[in-house]
Structure 1
Amino acid sequence: MDLTNILIVIFLHIALVIGSQETSSNEAEQGPKLLNQKAYAKLFKERRKEGKDLLQIIKNEGTYERKYKLLEGAYEKLLNILQQTQHIIQTSRYDPLVDKFPPKDVRLFDAITVTLENTCLFGEILIHNPDISYRMLESQQLGPDWKELINWCIKYARQFNDRIIDDKSQELLWLIDQEINPEKRTENYINPYRSSVHQKDGTKKQKKAKKLERGPRMVSRDEF
């Protein structure tokens, strides 16, 4: 599959994830049928499974240059979408810890579900491709505030906990938080997808420099 087709696959997946944002105004006029909490929790798990196909496509991409281009396109799209949904969420009065799900506003519903799904997708891609991803993200090619945005998304997604987000995805959010914030890493945190050199460099940023032990949490991420 050439790079153009691969990018199309990724963008189509993201387009499916973002649901009906572009048509939400028409749906609102017709009286939108929003998924209830139980139904969306089930759909969320299905969306997460779809992300595995994208990870496999990225993994199978041969050259470094092509993989870099592929990830650059994916991250640019994801961050752009998350910035948009963050704005919608922050300007609403919806409190996920208090208010019922789904919210009555279909545009807000789309923004919330997009944020939950794409936060997990972003994190999973990053965890599986850390070295090339950090080279890209930290060069500020995609904007200097990506970490602040993703940290906000993680915090927001966690507020829905087991009402919507399944156990594996909750663990993934916890791992993403540790991956992008070295100071939060537990003593036995280690990302097996990271090169040994970068692995050692990452540990220097922790508050207490301790010898890392290969723990049960990050031995393999295939289950996510």
Structure 2
Amino acid sequence: MLVSVAVRFCTIGLLLSLTLVVTSTESEASSEVTPVSVSQKDIYRRLLKHKRQDHALAVKTISQIDDFVKQYRMIELVLDKLFQVLADARVQINVSGWQPDMPFPDNEKDREAVAQVIENTLLFGDILLRIPDMTHEIYKSQTRRRELVIWSLQLCNETDVFEHAERKLLNLMSQELGVIPMEEDYINPYRIKLKKPSAPQKTPKKKQRQPREKKPRLGGRRLEL
């Protein structure tokens, strides 16, 4: 009973956390007092660091669910929400005409859409690399997601807001998804390795004793004296 309540609480908490990641960018930005000379991109870089801490906590919570069905359902719910947010943000960005090589948008709605793409692409990468087998199965259940992820990865790679850690994450998730070729030394340690069944050991056959050949005795019967 306690486990069930805890998991339900985690589900609500994670979905709420994801919603906050998506919707709180502008409120946080507007609450900070920043010099006029600081660009919107620099402000967002600082905000992104806090978002990444939220992502790490969410992924850790998901990975610690030890019930397969509940963990699967959790990832399914998060990805459904995540890809819906990405799709909506893509529509807004296309309408605005904003391109990654342009300055960070001044328009609040456009800026929020760009932030949603960046944050949810990174969050998807976190979940994919940490819980790869289950995430691959859920991700592949809807083919339209691949095209959306390729678009979001391209936008993120062309957006100059990331530090080394985020750029490395984008590279690793691109390899994991097969968007780019895997490097020779690429290994995801969280992949479940299927052990090859060991060949049955042959029991050594017992050597059959061969009957000894009777050698002819010298002489005939013993003579009784």
TM-score normalised by length of structure 2: 0.75
Task: Write the deviation string for residues 81-100 of structure 1: whole angstroms up to 9, x where unpaired.
Answer: 11110111122221221x22
In the alignment, structure 1 residue 12 sits paired with structure 2 residue 9: no
Cα distance, 1:21 vs. partner? 8.8
Q: Which amino acid letter does the alignment assign opposite residue 192 of structure 1?
A: P
The structure-2 alpha-carbon separation of the partners of 1:22 and 1:84, relative to structure 1 and needing over 3 Å to count, comes to: farther
Cα distance, 1:155 vs. partner? 0.6
* Separation in structure 2 between the aligned mates of residue 50 and residue 22 of structure 1, nearest angstrom: 16
The structure-2 alpha-carbon separation of the partners of 1:21 and 1:84, relative to structure 1 and needing over 3 Å to count, comes to: farther
Q: Which amino acid letter does the alignment assign opposite residue 167 of structure 1?
A: H
Equivalent in 115, 118, 121 of residue 116 of structure 1: 118
Task: Write the deviation string for residues 166-212 of structure 1: whole angstroms up to 9, x where unpaired.
Answer: 110111011111110175111111111011239xxxxxxxxxxxxxx
Partner residue, 2:154:
155
Cα distance, 1:60 vs. partner? 1.3
Cα distance, 1:50 vs. partner? 1.3
Question: Highest Rg: 1 or 2?
Answer: 2
- SS of the equivalent of 1:195 reads coil
Partner residue, 1:133:
135
- SS of the equivalent of 1:41 reads helix
Partner residue, 2:109:
107
Cα distance, 1:3 vs. partner? 2.7
In the alignment, structure 1 residue 93 sits paired with structure 2 residue 112: no
The structure-2 alpha-carbon separation of the partners of 1:22 and 1:44, relative to structure 1 and needing over 3 Å to count, comes to: closer
The structure-2 alpha-carbon separation of the partners of 1:182 and 1:150, relative to structure 1 and needing over 3 Å to count, comes to: closer
In the alignment, structure 1 residue 188 sits paired with structure 2 residue 174: no
Asked if 1 retains the 8 angstrom alpha-carbon contact of 2:92 and 2:113, the reply is yes
Asked if 1 retains the 8 angstrom alpha-carbon contact of 2:40 and 2:106, the reply is no
- SS of the equivalent of 1:122 reads helix
- SS of the equivalent of 2:96 reads coil
Asked if 1 retains the 8 angstrom alpha-carbon contact of 2:174 and 2:180, the reply is no
Equivalent in 28, 41, 66 of residue 62 of structure 1: 66
Partner residue, 1:216:
none
The aligned runs of 1:24-103 (5 Å cut-off) are: 36-97=40-101, 99-101=102-104, 103=105
- SS of the equivalent of 2:52 reads helix
* Separation in structure 2 between the aligned mates of residue 66 and residue 110 of structure 1, nearest angstrom: 31
The structure-2 alpha-carbon separation of the partners of 1:109 and 1:190, relative to structure 1 and needing over 3 Å to count, comes to: same
Deviates more, 1:181-190 or 1:103-112: 181-190
* Separation in structure 1 between the aligned mates of residue 63 and residue 78 of structure 2, nearest angstrom: 14
* Separation in structure 2 between the aligned mates of residue 191 and residue 75 of structure 1, nearest angstrom: 20
In the alignment, structure 1 residue 174 sits paired with structure 2 residue 174: no
Gaps of 5+ in 1: 28-32, 199-224
- State the number of aligned residues: 183
Q: Which amino acid letter does the alignment assign opposite residue 59 of structure 2?
A: L
In the alignment, structure 1 residue 165 sits paired with structure 2 residue 162: yes
Task: Write the deviation string for residues 4-46 of structure 1: whole angstroms up to 9, x where unpaired.
Answer: 21121111111111125999xxx9xxxxx99722121011111
Runs (4+) of structure 1 exceeding 4 A deviation are 20-23
Asked if 1 retains the 8 angstrom alpha-carbon contact of 2:131 and 2:191, the reply is yes
- SS of the equivalent of 1:176 reads helix
